[in-house]
Structure 1
Amino acid sequence: MSSGVEAVVQAEKLLQVALMLPCAAVVGWLIGAWADKHFHQTWIAITGIVFGAISGLVYVIRMALTAERDTRNETPSQNTSGEDRTGSQK
């Protein structure tokens, strides 16, 4: 039962990674388009898209690093002889 829940949680994390970058770019574009109309400019929407894409990419990279760290913590570091990777006895 717990492996099924873990699979659903992993699928949700992957879905969140896949949707984060485009959603951040769209939100940046919407805010930039609003600012374009409000301030009577034409360049703010492009800046919003770039800012949204960069912030989405930073968030995705942080999530990937956190997932990698969690995976390393769950992986057992012992081999069959009872020694850890450095060769010292536990």
Structure 2
Amino acid sequence: MADGSNKKQGGGLHSLVKAERMMQIAFVLPAAVFIGWAAGALLDKWLHTSWIYIVGLIFGSVAGLVEAVRQALQMGDKKP
């Protein structure tokens, strides 16, 4: 009996870990875009310009997309 319950708990824990990793993938792209925009906006304010935030948006978008794809590929390589 104990073996059956351990397998169920391990399967449930595995499902929770998988769900958490999917949530990380969904969170990383908007977080990276926001961080890029915020850094660009701060640099704009500091340097008295009005275009650096666009570079920050682009950089954050690319960085977030690369990280999301990397995490998705890593998750796909895992054996159940």
TM-score category, normalised to shorter length? 0.7 to 0.9
Runs of 4+ in 1 over 3 A off after TM superposition: none
Question: What is the rounded CA distance, in whole Å, between the counterparts of 1:33 and 1:44 in structure 2?
Answer: 7
Tell me which residue corresponds to 2:25: 17
- TM-score, normalised to structure 2, is 0.85
CA RMSD of aligned residues (A): 1.0
Task: Structure 1 unaligned segments of length 5 or more: list them.
Answer: 76-90
Q: CA deviation at 1:65?
A: 1.2
Cα offsets for 1:63-90 (capped at 9, x unmatched): 11111111xxx26xxxxxxxxxxxxxxx
- TM-score, normalised to structure 1, is 0.76
The structure that is helix-richer by fraction is 2
Give the counterpart of 2:68 among 55, 60, 66.
60
Task: Structure 2 unaligned segments of length 5 or more: list them.
Answer: 1-8
Say whether residues 1:38 and 2:46 are aligned partners. yes
Equivalenced residues, count? 72
What fraction of aligned residue pairs are identical, expressed as a percent?
39
Higher relative contact order (CA closer than 8 Å, sequence separation 6+): 2
